[in-house]
Structure 1
Amino acid sequence: MTGGPLYPLSRMTVAPLLRAIWRPNVEGRDNVPRSGGVLIASNHRSFVDSVVIPLVAPRKVVFLAKAEYFTGKGPKGIASRTWFNAMGMIPVERDDSRAAVNSLDQALRVLREGEAFGIYPEGTRSRDGRLYRGRVGVAHLAMQAGVPVVPVGLLGTPEVQPIGTNIPRLAKVTVKFGEPLTFGEAYRAMPAGKARRRATDEIMAAIAALSGQERASSYNERPPG
């Protein structure tokens, strides 16, 4: 299990405090299965997205986080490491040549342990507000682990922490959990590549319906630097 002994403490103390400050509006919370492996697939517009979803979900949601958040020095580094460990996040070397494969391996392990894993199918934050084409890793995980996908639409998080800022602000946030999507026999009968692409497109359509974002036909690429 991820998170260690700090997770229950953060869930009982930090989470209620932050919910009281931001007062997020949550829809469809009952769509999240209370047990068993599940993918939580969301749009991604702010760094704070990975904080908001675990705060309002009815169960722990594990996200990957950059390894440098766990290796900083001094008081700031200790605080960062403590926070990310308490939230149950898993460090990953983002710029390593095997980063994508390692991320999928980590996610499969979490799902097979019966936990909820959070993923952004776009791959990186949208800088213009549009919803970009989903990468097929989300469908690969769902099919390999045999778990449902709960689509999520986040609204308002760019106002809480706009890209390029470090200090969160007070702003209205809405989190919409959609009905779980499953990819069973019909998808297993297709060629693997076609099945992953079709399932990913279905997931992105569900996210778009929840978030109300304009769709982009291209993939979202991480900016250099």
Structure 2
Amino acid sequence: MSFYSVAKNIVVGPVVNTAFRPWVRGLHNIPSEGPAILASNHLSFSDSVFIPVKVPRQVHFMAKDDYWARQGASGWVMKKFFDLSGQIPMDRSGGAASQNSLNAGEQALRDGAVLGLYPEGTRSPDGRLYRGKLGIARLALNTQAPVIPIALIGTDKVQPIGKNIPRLGRVGMIVGEPMTFESYHGNAEDRFAQRAVTDEIMYRIMRLSGQEYVDVYASDVKRQLEAEKAAAKAARRAHRHREDSRSPGPTAD
């Protein structure tokens, strides 16, 4: 029995099924063999636990390469877990590095694997659905693998961003019908075709999840929020400095 099977069926699966009682609709839409791309919304770190627990086939996620770069004993354990469970590091810096990551995902599909992707590229900062990155379209058009849209429900409630330990609560997963893009085959490098395919995938996820859609990248929103937090922190420091400078010094007797 592989490490993946042991983790899913003996270690992680029983705990997840007992603690969170995940419900699933449309599981029959995932093909029993051959390549497929699972395209899901991304609300929580635990999304990458709930999906493989409920999907019968092994899911190879394209996960951000930060997980392989963490230091110390916990970083080593995480790296080994991701390697043994067949996950693929995704460099999100763009250019040749990101293309190399996509090439690894493409090879997995050509080998007949099920590839898990979060088209938004990062977790939603506020529960809304954000614009999809184009990498999923390149993979779908280059390999002609079907795209299976998935909507996760409630995972942000059981494990919000910033929380390491999930709280008990029920979560759900809705699996949509496979999407194929025959009319775009042969246009894998055309950015207009990539955007059309990606937007169609995001629209289907939106319909399944019921999320509000925002036509900007989640990563841009996160950077803006971080900048606003940094500015607010700097303003508080400046205010404290002004208050301290106004405080009267010690008086002589």
TM-score when scaled to structure 2? 0.79
| CA distance in 2 between partners of 1:152 and 1:122 (Å) | 13
| CA distance in 2 between partners of 1:86 and 1:43 (Å) | 25
- Is 2:105 the partner of 1:107? yes
The answer to whether the 8 A contact 2:44-2:156 is kept is: yes
| CA distance in 1 between partners of 2:6 and 2:186 (Å) | 45
1:7 is matched with 4
1:132 is matched with 130
Farther-moved stretch of structure 1 (7-16 vs 18-27)? 7-16
Structure 1 or 2, whichever has the larger Rg, is: 2
1:46 is matched with 44
| CA distance in 2 between partners of 1:29 and 1:175 (Å) | 9
| CA distance in 2 between partners of 1:29 and 1:95 (Å) | 33
Pick closer, same or farther for the CA change 1:197–1:162 going to 2, 3 Å: same
Give the secondary-structure state (helix, strand or coil) at the position aligned to 1:123: coil
Q: Which has the higher contact order (CA 8 A, sep 6+)?
A: 1
Code of the residue aligned with 1:7 in structure 2: it is Y
Task: Note the residue ranges of structure 1 that are not aligned, 5 or more in a row.
Answer: none
Q: Which runs of 4+ in 1 moved over 6 A?
A: none
Task: Note the residue ranges of structure 2 that are not aligned, 5 or more in a row.
Answer: 227-253
Tell me the number of residue pairs that the alignment of Structure 1 and Structure 2 aligns: 221
The answer to whether the 8 A contact 2:16-2:50 is kept is: no
Give the secondary-structure state (helix, strand or coil) at the position aligned to 1:11: helix
Code of the residue aligned with 2:160 in structure 1: it is P
The answer to whether the 8 A contact 1:188-1:195 is kept is: no
1:119 is matched with 117
Larger helix proportion of the pair: 2
* Aligned with 2:31 (options 23, 30, 33): 33
The answer to whether the 8 A contact 2:90-2:102 is kept is: no
Farther-moved stretch of structure 1 (113-122 vs 77-86)? 77-86
RMSD: 2.3
Pick closer, same or farther for the CA change 1:204–1:72 going to 2, 3 Å: closer
| CA distance in 2 between partners of 1:59 and 1:5 (Å) | 13
1:167 is matched with 165
